[in-house]
């Protein structure tokens, strides 16, 4: 059986514009949630987790021509992927088949909103029409580097980036790629913000996952990618792996378009199958990075699934969305990188803003970053609309 390792990571989020900045914010318990700044909308009452860079600043940092057709989703993706490629030493690698798998849902919608009237009234911004769809953002990121033999886009709502990592593992195990760069990118757009507002699941205050008084999500944006390969490939390239991707699974309970099943059937099956693939038992998991959106539905559903699987021996559980906001399609890879950092530095990212335990659950989220024992295996959950549930397990080597 081929052993899959992570040999590079890159991230840009509300916590910082690289891995080190994100790590420091997590360790210092400093949230990136703040009032809206970059998105121009009348709904300024909602706090969000914006990346602290304008499009113009990202274009400059990436040395892209100012008149190039770009979107915020693709720009963030380029920054995160560039860091992952650097850490994974891909610039020094030749003769390998490298695939790129990226998840997003908003795509280039930020520009479509901005230029919609121009599309109707004149032809000055029509070049952005082709930048609207999800695949176009993936192609923009891939074209920036020009090293990928295969390019795939995953769009399964909030499990997109996690499913990109899952697909990456399958590409490696099947031999269709030697190395895979996988993850996701997502910007905040008006449609994005208004859509969640229509569902009445945005919180006007900093979000409180797994808290009895939770009121919804804080929307976020960001991007993260991991460099994946077999351990044999990493050894031949003389790259030191960061950790193993020891288990992964995707399920779909198809309970509702925008809600998870109350008993968390899909979440339970995803976690259970991921453990089976990893050859682990529930008691082997040392920390769960929960999907933990802060909505009434998710936290009951996910919490119920955790209780069902782990019984009375539930490991520390936390949601990192009070740090980053809910980065939706990028959440799976943003939280994968956070999980890998927790594994590397042996700490538990705390569940910010918690005050009162949910009566439906037998456990409270972790508020102490110091683990009671060394962290060896981390389970990271990403659950999407339509019941598309994905669990990843990262383990020390």
Give one DSSP letter per residue of 170-224, joined into a string: HHHHTTS-SEEEEEEEE---HHHHHHHHHTT-B-SSS--TTBTT---B-BB-EEE
- Look at residue 131 in the predicted model and tell me its pLDDT: 87
Taking all residues of the chain, what is their mean pLDDT, rounded to a whole number?
Answer: 95
User: Do 320 and 149 meet the contact criterion of CB atoms below 8 Å apart?
Assistant: no
Query: Above pLDDT 90, what percent of the chain?
Result: 85
Which of 87, 132, 192, 291 is an active site residue?
A: 291
291 is catalytic: yes
281 is catalytic: no
For 80-93, write each residue's pLDDT tens digit.
999 999 999 998 88
SS3 of residue 106 by DSSP: coil
The rounded distance, in Å, linking the Cα atoms of 222 and 224 is: 7
- The structure tokens listed for 241 are 């792996």
Q: Which of 140-144, 305-309, 383-387 shows the lowest mean pLDDT across its residues?
A: 383-387
- The structure tokens listed for 361 are 């659950």
For 201-236, write each residue's pLDDT tens digit.
999 999 999 999 999 999 999 999 999 999 999 999
User: Would you place residue 388 in the very low, low, confident or very high pLDDT band (cuts 50, 70, 90)?
Assistant: confident
Question: Measuring CA to CA, how many Å separate 265 from each of 35, 154, 306, 331, 387?
Answer: 36, 23, 10, 21, 9
Question: What is the domain partition of the chain in residue ranges?
Answer: 4-237, 245-395
- Look at residue 66 in the predicted model and tell me its pLDDT: 86
* Residue in the structure block whose two tokens are 């910010």: 352
Query: Above pLDDT 70, what percent of the chain?
Result: 99
User: Do 107 and 134 meet the contact criterion of CB atoms below 8 Å apart?
Assistant: yes
Instruction: Say how many CA atoms lie within 13 Å of 396 toward its Cβ.
Output: 13
The rounded distance, in Å, linking the Cα atoms of 168 and 233 is: 15
The rounded distance, in Å, linking the Cα atoms of 158 and 332 is: 7
- The structure tokens listed for 264 are 């968390």
Per-residue DSSP letter, 311: T
The rounded distance, in Å, linking the Cα atoms of 219 and 322 is: 10
Q: Could you tell me the maximum CA-CA distance found in the chain, to the nearest angstrom?
A: 64
Architecture of domain 245-395: 3-Layer(aba) Sandwich (3.40)
Per-residue pLDDT at 387 exceeds 80: no
Which of 134, 158, 207, 243 is an active site residue?
A: 158
- Look at residue 256 in the predicted model and tell me its pLDDT: 67
> Which spans in the chain are helix H?
19-27, 55-62, 72-87, 109-121, 134-145, 160-173, 190-198, 231-237, 265-278, 296-310, 321-324, 331-345
For 45-55, write each residue's pLDDT tens digit.
999 999 999 99
Per-residue pLDDT at 56 exceeds 90: yes
Q: Which fold has domain 4-237?
A: Peroxisomal Thiolase; Chain A, domain 1 (3.40.47)
Q: Roughly how many angstroms between the first and final C-alpha of the chain, as a whole number?
A: 16
158 is catalytic: yes
The rounded distance, in Å, linking the Cα atoms of 60 and 2 is: 40
For 317-371, write each residue's pLDDT tens digit.
999 999 999 999 999 999 999 999 999 999 999 999 999 999 999 999 999 999 9
């Amino acid at each position: 059986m081929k052993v899959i390792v992570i040999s590079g990571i890159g991230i840009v989020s509300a916590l910082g514009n690289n891995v080190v900045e994100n790590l420091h914010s997590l360790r210092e318990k400093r949230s990136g949630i703040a009032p809206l700044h970059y998105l121009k909308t009348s709904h300024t009452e909602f706090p969000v987790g914006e990346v602290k860079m304008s499009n113009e600043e990202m274009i400059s940092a990436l040395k892209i021509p100012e008149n190039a057709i770009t979107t915020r989703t693709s720009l963030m993706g380029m920054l995160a992927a560039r860091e992952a490629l650097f850490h994974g030493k891909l610039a020094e690698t030749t003769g390998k088949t490298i695939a790129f798998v990226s998840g997003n849902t908003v795509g280039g919608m930020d520009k479509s909103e901005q230029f919609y009237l121009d599309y109707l009234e004149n032809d000055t911004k029509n070049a952005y029409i082709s930048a609207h769809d999800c695949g176009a953002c993936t192609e923009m990121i891939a074209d920036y580097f020009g090293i990928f033999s295969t390019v795939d886009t995953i769009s399964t709502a909030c499990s997109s980036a996690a499913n990109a990592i899952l697909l990456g593992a399958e590409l490696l195990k099947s031999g269709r790629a030697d190395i895979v760069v996988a993850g996701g990118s997502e910007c905040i757009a008006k449609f994005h913000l208004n859509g969640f507002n229509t569902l009445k699941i945005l919180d006007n205050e900093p979000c409180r996952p797994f808290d009895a008084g939770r009121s919804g999500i804080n929307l976020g944006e960001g991007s993260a990618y991991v460099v994946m390969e077999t351990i044999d490939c990493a050894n031949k390239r003389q790259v030191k792996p960061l950790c193993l991707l020891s288990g992964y699974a995707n399920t779909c309970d198809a309970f509702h378009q925008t809600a998870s099943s109350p008993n968390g059937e899909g979440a339970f099956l995803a976690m259970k199958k991921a453990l089976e693939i990893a050859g682990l038992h529930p008691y082997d998991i040392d920390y769960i990075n929960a999907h933990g959106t802060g909505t009434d539905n998710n936290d009951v559903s996910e919490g119920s699934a955790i209780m069902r699987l782990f019984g009375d021996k539930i490991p520390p559980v936390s949601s990192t969305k009070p740090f980053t906001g809910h980065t939706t399609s990028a959440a799976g890879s943003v939280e994968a990188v956070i999980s890998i950092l927790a594994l590397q530095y042996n700490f538990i990212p705390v569940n910010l803003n918690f005050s009162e335990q949910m009566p439906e659950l037998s456990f409270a989220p972790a508020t102490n970053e110091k683990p009671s024992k060394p962290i060896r295996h981390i389970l990271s959950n990403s659950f999407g609309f339509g019941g598309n549930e994905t669990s990843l397990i990262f383990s020390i080597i």
